[in-house]
A and B are shown apart, each in its own frame.
Chain A
Amino acid sequence: MRIYPSHLDNLGRRFFSMVKGRTDLLQGTLELMILKTLSRETMHGYGIAQRIHAAADDLLKIEDGSLYPALYRMEGRGWIRSEWSLSENNRRAKFYKLTKSGRKQLEAETANWSRVSQAITRILQTA
């Protein structure tokens, strides 16, 4: 089964709408992956997509285009910064870089993710 970010979003909305304060958990999954990817180095959109595909070993089928609205939203929140630059083949490309605020967000989201995934794992094992 292919899982697209929109599925995660819908699932997140349905499940976590019952839990106050955590409505953004699964909706932020793609953003968490982007933050983690950018924590290593500056990249453009294509590089980010490739890195996520490679890291997820194609278990998550993410439409490449869905990264861009997420990137623009994250830039708006100040988590990442972008600038146009030239690639090694002199092509104009937009690079994204993690900001200090983005690094903090990554730490917070990573901690949150591991807490929730542990909780769900326990539920699945015991229920």
Chain B
Amino acid sequence: MIMQPIKLFQRKKTEQDIEDELLHHVSLLTQAYLDQGMSFEEARGAALKRFGNMNEIKNECVKISINNPFLLLVKTGLLMLFLFGVLMRIFIPVENFRHLADVLMWLAVLGRLFMYVRSLKPSLFVPKNDNASPLSLINKSNPAIPTYDQRALTPLERVISDK
């Protein structure tokens, strides 16, 4: 019961991340079609058609992501580490073991905290002058692949935000 609000919050965060990722893709596609000379409406339609059913894809991704076994394994591992530390502290009355238990507990807490902060602010962990950018990875010799414009929002995103 206590975990419900946390789970709900995590789900919303996951949904938001996935939506951001999918919208980013659609906006790049729209831009590609705009660069080919289509009108905005045509470009948006073509991009959405090529992308597929956005809501269906988003829901599927959320479902998969929430049940991500790797993350679950890491979280469970950290919880086990913490509990192990607590048990060691309670049941082994030796000073050295207590220190070890403290270290384990702190490791678990800091690990979990790091995972949480990282999921909230991923950009904090990215070097600012990272030249390995996504668009440089695309084959630039292919004229069908657009370079992304420098505006803050793409036309599609402007329409979405206007709504």
Contacts and interface: CB of A to CB of B under 8 A. Distances in A.
Nearest to B25: A46
B29 interface: yes
B68 A76 contact: yes
Majority secondary structure, B binding face: helix
B70 A65 contact: no
A89 B148 contact: yes
B120 to A, nearest CB: 11
Majority secondary structure, A binding face: mixed
Interface residue range, chain B: 35 or more
Interface in B108-147: 122-123, 125-126, 128, 130, 132-139, 142, 144-145
Interface stretch (B2-10, B49-57, B79-87, B95-103): B49-57
B20 interface: yes
Complex A-B, nearest 3 residue pairs according to Cβ-Cβ distance, in ascending order = A84-B122, A65-B52, A63-B52
19 contacts: A43-B138, A46-B134, A47-B137, A49-B25, A51-B139, A54-B142, A54-B145, A64-B29, A65-B51, A68-B21, A68-B57, A84-B126, A85-B133, A85-B134, A86-B133, A87-B133, A89-B149, A93-B24, A93-B134
Interface of B: 17-18, 20-22, 24-25, 28-29, 50-54, 57, 60-61, 64-65, 67-70, 122-123, 125-126, 128, 130, 132-139, 142, 144-145, 148-150
